Amino acid sequence: MACIAGVDLGTSSLKVIVMDEGGTVLAEASAQYDYDSPVNGYGEQNVDVWWQACVTCFQSVVRQVDASTIAGIGFSGQMHGAVFLDEHCRQVRPAILHLDARSGAQLQEMSTRLAPETILSVLMNPPYSGFLVPSLLWVKENEPEQYRRIRHVMMPKDYLRYRLSGELYSDYSDASATLAFDIRRMVWADDVLAALEIPRVFFPDCLATDAIAGRVTEQAARETGLLEGTPMVAGGGDQVMQSIGNGVILPGQATVNIGTSAQVSFQSSRAIENPALNTNTFCGYGRGRWYTMGATMSAGLSMSWLGKVLGMSFPQMEAQACTVPPGAGGLLYMPYLSGERTPHLNPDISGMFWGLSVNTDRSRLARAVMEGVAYSLRECMELCRSLGCDTDVYVASGGGAQSSLWLQIQADVYGVPLMVANIRQHAGVGAAIAAGSGIGLYRDIAEGCRRVVRYQDQRYLPNEENHALYERYYRLYRRAYQDGRQVLEELTALGRSRDTTKHSRG
């Protein structure tokens, strides 16, 4: 029996699943890790951490299924991150991640060197910290010796595929999220790279998500337990892959995903231009496919942070939050731990609780964080709708979709129903479906979705009374950003300056 594997490289963990062609999961494994933040606002990971996690997970799954039955492997990866390799394809420095906020000066440089029309109509996305190009420019300016050693740059999941296959490729979706890609033409933007004095040869060739992009080498087979010669497809950014894993691939369909960060993503048959540049439009899994999304940077990350502060697990915090009615007792949370992307496009904002009192306890803090993330996602939805995107129902995804409380909070805040797919590892399932399409197990990705994706019977419907209350809180949430923005930005600058000074001395 042939089966297919999906690798999902996230910010805090790597997961591998193996499933049959009907979507039954036959084996799975995961490995946890942290990212490094040597200075407030920095986010880095050593690529060897990813590779060791990948090796560990494959060693685990091939103890559960015969490696000879794995007919193809697909990949999903955290987006925007920058991997820097030398002429021997060895790491030059740790990868700079999507949540990194160090490159403010480089963003200004990009805005100076690139014409506004180029940014709007070619890149179709705002220059923002954590994207590959500003991170690369930061290395060029601040670490010139390391920059001179760079010969290849790529996205995180592409590094894993390289380690398994020895082949350097990317895909349209991940490439489009670098600020070096022509979104409409679906090619590297040579004029942009020339204007920024970045060598075009740094960047790998791009393929469709389900195109074959290498085979497992003898060395990788020895380390992982996989069969030498097993084909791998290019894969895609996690947003595209979780959409596939949720069966959301047609125009008019949408997902709301809560992972470390969170996104609202609308499928489209055209590249939607936003003059305000406070949303993202990226390429989908193949030519003629795009999606428009709004993103909030610190969603699940906010809950992880709170859990560390309180010394509690997520299930413990969820149980506590269940005891508190909507509104968290008059407490508002602004989820800006790593700046914000939509709709404020502000890497220099910081998070905040409004309404703290002597009655504020763990349960209210936990519920306020869940609600604050939902308010932020609602802002993303409203902005995307203003551009012509809409849907009658959202498919919820990510770790947030495993919490019935958080799902109900979202439905009540958004005022629309939520559906949830039966399989939990949505991005990994999407990666496996892409592998199945690439090796001919399915005619295409659409057939793979039809054969694999099923939805839970339960839909999360908005409670009218709760929704009316959340409308009042949501209006205050939006005011809170405007009223507190300057103070929060100055606090961020003071903290970052002190952390940078300490780091340089250390």
Residues taking part in catalysis: 238
Phi/psi region, residue 147 (left: phi>0; alpha: psi -120 to 50; beta: rest), is alpha
Distance of alpha carbon 303 from its chain centroid, rounded? 16
Q: Measuring CA to CA, which residue among 328, 331, 326, 336 is closest to residue 301?
A: 336
Q: How many CA atoms lie within 13 A of 263 on its CB side?
A: 25
Cα separation, 229 vs 227, in Å, equals 6
Which strand (E) or helix (H) includes residue 354?
strand 352-354
Cα separation, 370 vs 412, in Å, equals 12
DSSP per-residue letters across 176-236: TTTT-EETTTTEE-HHHHHHTT--GGGSPEEE-TTSEEEE--HHHHHHH-PPTT-EEE--E
Which amino acid makes up residue 311? G
Q: How far from 53 is each of 7, 57, 299, 424, 433, CA to CA, in Å? A: 11, 6, 24, 20, 22
Sheet strand arrangement including 254-258: 280-283, 290-296, 262-268, 254-258, 394-397, 418-420
Q: Which two tokens stand for residue 48?
A: 């060897």
Residue with tokens 């809170």: 480
Which strand (E) or helix (H) includes residue 473?
helix 464-505
Cα separation, 325 vs 413, in Å, equals 13
Cα separation, 421 vs 433, in Å, equals 15
Q: How far from 207 is each of 197, 212, 234, CA to CA, in Å? A: 25, 8, 7
Residue with tokens 């906010």: 302
Cα separation, 367 vs 372, in Å, equals 8
